Structure 1
């Protein structure tokens, strides 16, 4: 059999590999951080996490290393692992980049969106407004993230979607504490955005999106200034107990 024929034959025989357990633990812990169930500055104890997630300590330890590499967790020698507490500058820089990316997403969406796309945007806006009425923070954050992501999907720019996806989870993390504070104002801004996209006004859609994301950015920074104690929780001034060496 020729090598090209062999390659084609093997293409249909590739074995799907299961997702490593450490990656599943990584994703579960990341969601706990984003949702606020694991708060900034919180001490992360391997044994407690393993019990909560129903796994051994090894994949938890490996997941903590990955989370540390990606900036979700801080590993402090002698003290342990702590949920990362974002600084003002960190949040400001990421949300500023988001404003640029999503402004371009909205501009392109206004040029390309069809009736089905507009209908889906309105459905997502309905979901967000219903979540506001129910005071359901998780649903508000989820609907907000999905609406913003869908605008980028409508842009039909795969590179732009890739960049937006990279910052999406951190945006959700930063948005969760201010979702109630932004309230219905945020969804009224979404309605204006959808209207501009439906009318094909690309420049207005871009302007509305940039202003919208900048208001979210400002709300987050205002909250940090009002609650400075929440910005960078102190590290406990004690070391973890060490087990005594066995004889």
Structure 2
């Protein structure tokens, strides 16, 4: 039987929160084989960044991450290099690896692209969705409302992603789906810190969107999705600012 990871100190010698501190309060997430180990470690670390277990600006220590995941330092090092290439991690000379701190400009670029893609997706979905599809949309909406009532932010973000993904699926456009999938993980990263303040407004907008899709009104569905994604972009700008840890 795998022994549990021992408690880890929350702060490094400079007083900043470290990966040890972030991970010590959560259950160890041992990676599984036979998938290529470097890929599994990459996915695990990316998800820890997206759900903000590892916070923007946070120092990442290879040894701590390797212990948490139950692997050697080599796949962790490879994963950090890949995450750096993709913009999730910053590698600083003589300092080490840090979770990237997103800028408003980066958010504008990505959320602007997402708005265009998802507005078109909603327009197409309104012309394609049948009664069973609409029923599934309401089920996903209910999951989000329940998660919001429970103040389960991780579940809220997951439900939001699932609902948007299903609208994309209903569009019937595989190229569009591939393009939206490319930005989905980063959208979830930006959405996590604003899921609570967006709260009921976001899910009310989702309800309006579902009603437009059910009415097979592509123009209204597109307009609602455009407003919805723009309000999400603005909420990210209005969030409390994240300060880099030094």
| TM-score in terms of structure 1 length | 0.85
Q: Cα RMSD between the aligned structures?
A: 1.1
Deviation at 1:19, TM superposition (A): 2.7
Spell out, residue by residue over 1:143-165, the C-alpha distance to the aligned partner (whole angstroms, 9 max, x if none): 00000011000000000000000
Residue 48 (structure 1) aligns with: 64
Q: Which of 219, 227, 233 is matched with 2:244 structurally?
A: 233
Q: Which of 169, 183, 190 is matched with 1:174 structurally?
A: 190
Q: Which of 190, 200, 206 is matched with 2:216 structurally?
A: 200
Classify the secondary structure of the residue corresponding to 2:158: helix
Residue 201 (structure 2) aligns with: 185
Larger radius of gyration: 1
Q: Which of 235, 238, 245 is matched with 1:219 structurally?
A: 235
Deviation at 1:128, TM superposition (A): 0.2
Classify the secondary structure of the residue corresponding to 1:200: coil
Whether 1:34 and 2:37 are equivalent positions in the alignment is no
Whether 1:135 and 2:151 are equivalent positions in the alignment is yes
Q: Which of 5, 19, 22 is matched with 2:38 structurally?
A: 22
CA distance in 1, matches of 2:45, 2:134: 34
CA distance in 2, matches of 1:183, 1:36: 18
Q: Which runs of 4+ in 1 moved over 6 A?
A: none
Whether 1:164 and 2:184 are equivalent positions in the alignment is no
Q: How many residues align?
A: 214
Residue 5 (structure 2) aligns with: none
CA distance in 2, matches of 1:75, 1:23: 19
> Gapped runs of 5+ residues in structure 1?
1-16, 237-247
Residue 84 (structure 2) aligns with: 68
Residue 122 (structure 1) aligns with: 138
Deviation at 1:60, TM superposition (A): 0.2
Deviation at 1:18, TM superposition (A): 4.5
Spell out, residue by residue over 1:172-206, the C-alpha distance to the aligned partner (whole angstroms, 9 max, x if none): 00000000000111111000000000100001000
> Gapped runs of 5+ residues in structure 2?
1-32
| TM-score in terms of structure 2 length | 0.85
Classify the secondary structure of the residue corresponding to 1:82: strand
CA distance in 2, matches of 1:87, 1:162: 25
CA distance in 1, matches of 2:93, 2:39: 23
Classify the secondary structure of the residue corresponding to 1:19: coil
